[in-house]
Amino acid sequence: MLSGDFFYITSLERAEGRINAVLEINPNHKIFDGHFPGWPVVPGVCMMQVVKEILESALSKATRLINAGQLKFLTVIDPRETNTIHAELKYSQVDDGRIKVSAVLANGPVTYFKMNGVFLLPEN
């Protein structure tokens, strides 16, 4: 789990089929010691995890990513320059506890990451 350490959700709004969140990246997190020394960059896998954790926070349920059909890493996030990120998730429940998600991480006109995926809700 990265929330509360690597990043902090400062705003979270949920409407029907849509989640908007603002998050702050911790530029002093230890992951940046190795990714990359002297030029910190948010790892792509962390961007995917951010989407997962925002979805879980909004739904108050655990999820598991079962399909990442499209991932686009468009611009690197250097937390020394930009640590505020806006996340927009559009989602719909499909069947059998699956949720289709289309997500964008951006800040103003700069888009960092786009993702289309399917998450699975746990069985009750």
55-106 per-position pLDDT tens digit: 999 999 999 999 999 999 999 999 999 999 999 999 999 988 899 999 999 9
* Residue ranges covered by each domain of the chain: 7-120
Residue 89: Cβ within 10 Å count? 21
Q: Which CATH architecture has domain 7-120?
A: Roll (3.10)
Answer whether 21's CB lies under 8 Å from 11's CB. Answer: yes
Give me the pLDDT at residue 123, please. Answer: 76
Provide the pLDDT confidence category of residue 2 given band limits of 50, 70 and 90. Answer: very high
Answer whether 105's CB lies under 8 Å from 86's CB. Answer: yes
Q: In degrees to the nearest 10, what's the CA dihedral of 97, 61, 75, 9?
A: 160
This prediction has a pTM of 0.95
Give me the pLDDT at residue 30, please. Answer: 97
38-62 per-position pLDDT tens digit: 999 999 999 999 999 999 999 999 9
Give me the pLDDT at residue 122, please. Answer: 84
Q: Name the helix (H) or strand (E) containing 91.
A: strand 84-93
